[in-house]
Structure 1
Amino acid sequence: MTAPSPAADRTGGSDERDGRDGLHRLPPPRPAYDAHTWKEIVYLLLNLPVTLFGFIYAVTMLSVGGALTLTVIGLPLLALSLLGARQLGKLERTRARKLLGVLVEEPTPLPLARSGGPVQRLWMALKDPVGWRTLLYDAIRLPWGIFTFCTVLTSLFVLWPVLPYLTRAMANVDRAMVRGLLSPSDELERRIAELESDRGIVVDTAAADLRRIERDLHDGAQARLVNLAMGLGLAKEKLLEDPDTAAAMVEEAHGEVKLALQELRDLARGIHPAVLTDRGLDAALSSVSSRCTVPVKVTVDMPARPAAAIEGIAYFTVSELLQNISKHSQARTASVDVWRADDRLLIQVRDDGRGGARLDDGSGMRGLAERLGAVDGLFVVDSPDGGPTVVTAELPWRDRQD
């Protein structure tokens, strides 16, 4: 048994400390041939086949993908190459953890499932820094893989006494390469990927809202106004020859005007209700809750009004949840609580219905979660079968600029 080194005494010899510092400190001294040394030898011998495969993959995919970028399949092929490189990087990090003891975290997965259309997902994959760094790692390591393989293989028969020291030195170079090119860069990289995905969601949501407004105008108020114009034209023609029929037609047109105005008011309320702009969340939520088929208790506790964008998201979130309660919950009562906690705006909607609500059940919950995520919010659904259902939403608090 070897005595503990002074360095181990100073650090307390703690495995926990070693795990925390493993990214920035070389392994401590150890006997010439032990299990760690043999793991390093195996790692270095595997370098040749691994780096050869990685080099062929990187060069082939980059050359073929780059040559075909002017065609339809070029960019998608390059994007697939980067996604494949991510998997190669994952295998290399696993190999380094198992054989070299390098504690390297896995990078955050690309949020492709949350992105917008195919073009948005393709663009995100093409800009993936993790994939590009892995391709660089695979492209430059072939000479090093050949050197380490030949050196270790020769030393096994010729330089046996010094092989542990050579192995340690070469393994340290591999550790540095893995940490430098295969470790996640920092939290900023993750946030950039998430924000790019969220931007795509916001754009798609805005486009869907515009299509909905256009459809509602075309099928609703616009159609009624066209019929109204035709009716008034016919009434004008009959005004002199048949006043009674003309009066009846004008009366019918008057009813059409009322219906058109009501549809326009409903459409405007769906875009941004006037009561929200004029009187804030408390009055707006009281108004929308009055249209719910279930009695709703509304409590709003805020010292001031948040920014208009946050206020609007909060309103439409509650509005959508109350519509779900009316349509699906079979509840007898519901409640809405809105309050500020530090720099967050919290919303909790509760009902005593049958429960079973899920983010993927087609009730619009997933869309709400994506909208809140796009502004750095949170959306949590707790809805066991049999109820009750509690939906909690958080939004960042931003002061209102009047």
Structure 2
Amino acid sequence: MPSVEDMTISYAGAPAAPTIAPARRYLRQLGVDTQYVLLGFPLGLITLVLCITGFATGIGTAIIWIGLPLLAGSLAMSRGFAHLERLRIGPVLRRRIPHPHYRASKSQSWVGKMFSPLADGQSWLDLVHGIFRFIPSTIAFCFVFTWWVGTLGGLTYAAWDWALPHPPENQDLPELLGFDDTALIRVTFYLVMGLFFAVTLIPVVRGSALLEAQFARGLLTGVDELRQQVADANAARDTALGQKAAAVSAEATALRKLERDIHDGPQQRLVRLAMDLGRAEQQFATDPELARATVAEALSQTRETLDELRALSRGIAPPILVDRGLQAALTALAGRCTIPVDLDAPVFERLNPAVESTAYFVVAEALTNVAKHSHASEVQVSVQRITTGLLVTVADDGVGGASLAKGHGLAGLDDRVKAAGGVLAVESAEGEGTRLTAALPL
């Protein structure tokens, strides 16, 4: 579950990314891809020779134990080449390449640390990449080198055609084409070929670079990325289970509170109303005036009961929230509070009903707690739309001491916020007031 700081990190606003013209972006990517492929060919040669030599020597001499240190050294060397390759493929793939998890040695001795790469799967994948990377590197190098030579040579051929030896000219071809100059035909042909290579240069170079880069990514980070995806899926499942449990707990808490409020309020008044009406029925025969007074008192009890029922219905689903939105509902809520409320809730577009309902209940429960327990003289309520969602803050200058721990009044509110996928934080030092912050995702 993310923290409030994580969800509000973009509140101040991040600087917009600089826009680059498409032509400049393509040309810059062309340069990145070209240098990646051209440099990858000699690196692939060096890596192939060193890795296959170290691996073959280590395997061949492993029977006399000398090969084990050689094999461990080859794995360590291939890890170094793998680190370099991860740095190189990042600009090609236009993404940050994560550093994979290598198995740490549990041994404290230098011998155990030296041989730890032998038990690490990623180190072996690095070695496999070092041995077989020459295949995609060679293919990519052939295409990139050919296309660059074809582009530059074809477009500039007219400038150095004079310096090349040419065989005796065949006069039949110029006459057939209607030209008198064989050199013009030759220059035109090479210019057309140069234009063809130039037009197809970017996709060919891009495809060649991606071929080599994706091969490296699959071996150097693919397993670790798959492991991270599994971990993220498990974390998402745990978060969903936590939200489900929080929703069940919040619902149970709300039902218990509603049951308690009905029992302590309207139910008691209805019992008294029934008793008053029964007494009035008996008094009509003996003392009509006293019966009328009893009925009048019963009518007063009826009005008070209706007011309490309306208050309870507003707590369940306030009509103003559904009809007019969060800002109007919070304004009405602040007007009913017994403590002066400084409300900062600008009008913005309607949000998801679940988000609006949760934000409303956060403020309603917080104001109720402030009125009952804080002894505050003022409370400030702020609702802000941020990049990551909705930020609700309720701060008072009361006695403090509030807590999200189980058994306290805010525990049910915390469950309600978690059920909506948000987080709730409370700062409430003794004697310094309380600041409640809820971050709700949209």
Q: Rg larger in 1 or in 2? A: 2
Letter of the 1:306 partner, please give it: L
Q: Distance in 2 between matches of 1:5 and 1:254?
A: 91
Q: What is the CA-CA distance between 1:348 and the residue it aligns to? A: 1.3
Corresponding residue for 2:80? 8
Say if 1:349 and 1:391, in contact at 8 Å, map to a contact too.
yes
1: CA distance, partners of 2:406 / 2:377: 22
Deviations 1:18-69 (A, max 9, x none): x954448999xxxxx944355689x9xxxxxxxxxxxxxxxxxxxxxxxxxx
1:384 and 1:338 map into 2 onto residues whose CA distance is 23
2:380 pairs with 335, 338, 353, which one?
335
The structure-2 alpha-carbon separation of the partners of 1:248 and 1:396, relative to structure 1 and needing over 3 Å to count, comes to same
Distance 1:234 1:284 in 2: 42
Deviation at residue 388 of structure 1 after TM alignment: 4.8
Identity of aligned residues (%): 36
Residues 13 and 385 (structure 1 numbering): CA distance in 2 closer, same or farther, change over 3 Å?
A: farther
Aligned twin of 2:233 = 188
For residue 7 of structure 2, what is the aligned residue in structure 1? none
- Could you say which residue in structure 2 is the equivalent of 1:159? none
**1:25-44 alignment to 2 at 5 Å?**
34-37=111-114
2-structure distance, mates of 1:260, 1:320: 22
Deviation sequence 1:51-106 (CA, Å, 0-9, x none): xxxxxxxxxxxxxxxxxxxxxxxxxxxxxxxxxxxxxxxxxxxxx99xx99xxxxx
Tell me by how many angstroms 1:338 deviates: 0.8
1:111 maps to which residue? none
SS of residue in 2 equivalent to 1:371:
helix
Q: Which amino acid aligns with 1:337?
A: S
CA distance in 2, matches of 1:185, 1:391: 35
Query: What residue is the counterpart of 1:360 in the other structure?
Result: 405
Is 2:428 the counterpart of 1:351? no
The equivalences for 1:177-256 within 5 A come to 185-256=230-301
Q: Is the 8 A contact 1:302 1:340 kept in 2?
A: no
- Does residue 312 (structure 1) correspond to residue 333 (structure 2)? The answer is no
Counting helix residues as a fraction of each chain, which structure ranks higher? 2
**1:303/1:34 Cα in 2 relative to 1: closer, same or farther (>3 Å)?**
same
Question: How far apart are 1:377 and its partner, in Å?
Answer: 0.6
Cα deviation, residue 186, structure 1: 2.4
Alignment of 1:257-336 (within 5 A): 257-336=302-381
CA contact (8 A) 2:427 2:435 kept: yes
Higher relative contact order at CA 8 Å, sep ≥6: structure 1 or structure 2?
Answer: 2
Structure 1 spans left out of the alignment, 5+ residues: 28-32, 44-95, 102-177, 398-402
Instruction: Name the CA distance, whole Å, in 1 between partners of 2:413 and 2:251.
Output: 13
CA distance in 2: counterparts of 1:12 and 1:181, whole angstroms = 21
RMSD over aligned Cα atoms: 4.2
Q: CA deviation at 1:372?
A: 1.0
Q: Secondary structure at the match of 2:436?
A: strand
1:319-354 CA distance string (max 9 Å, x none): 111222223333332211112123511111122334
Show the 5 A alignment for 1:60-79. Answer: none
Do the aligned partners of residues 329 and 235 (structure 1) sit closer, same or farther apart at CA in structure 2, a change above 3 Å counting?
Answer: closer
Q: Which amino acid aligns with 2:243?
A: D
Q: Contact 1:284 / 1:315 at 8 angstroms: preserved in 2?
A: yes
* Structure 2 Cα separation of the partners of residues 365 and 275 of structure 1: 25
SS at match of 1:348: strand
Which whole-Å CA distance do the structure 2 matches of 1:211 and 1:337 have between them?
Answer: 29
Rounded Cα–Cα distance in structure 1 between residues aligned with 2:78 and 2:278: 101
Q: Name the aligned partner's letter for residue 36 of structure 1.
A: K
Q: Distance in 2 between matches of 1:342 and 1:34?
A: 52
Query: How far has the Cα of 1:253 moved from its partner?
Result: 1.3
Change (3 A) 1:393 1:225: same
Structure 1 contact 324–363 (Cα < 8 Å) conserved: no
Structure 1 pair 195–248 and aligned structure 2 pair: CA distance change class (3 A): same
Aligned length: 259
Are 2:100 and 2:224, in contact at CA under 8 Å, matched by a contact in 1? no
Structure 2 CA distance, aligned partners of 1:270 and 1:380? 22
Decide whether the 8 Å contact of 1:221 with 1:263 is kept in 2: yes
Q: Decide whether the 8 Å contact of 1:372 with 1:379 is kept in 2.
A: yes
Query: For 2:290 and 2:78, how far apart are their aligned partners in 1?
Result: 108
Going from structure 1 to structure 2, the CA distance change for 1:388 and 1:273 (only over 3 Å counts) comes to same
Distance 2:437 2:408 in 1: 16
2:425 aligned with 1:380, yes or no? Answer: yes
Tell me how far 1:208 sits from its aligned partner: 3.0
Q: 1:191 to 1:5 in 2, by over 3 A?
A: closer
Name 1:82's counterpart in structure 2. none
**8 A contact 2:277–2:295 mirrored in 1:** yes
Pair 1:256–1:384, CA change in 2 (3 A):
closer
Tell me, in whole angstroms, the C-alpha distance in 1 between the residues paired with 2:257 and 2:78. Answer: 72
Paired with 1:221 and 1:240, the residues of 2 have a C-alpha distance of: 30
Shift of 1:300: 0.9
The alpha-carbon distance between structure 1 residues 324 and 253, as it changes in their structure 2 partners (threshold 3 A), is: closer
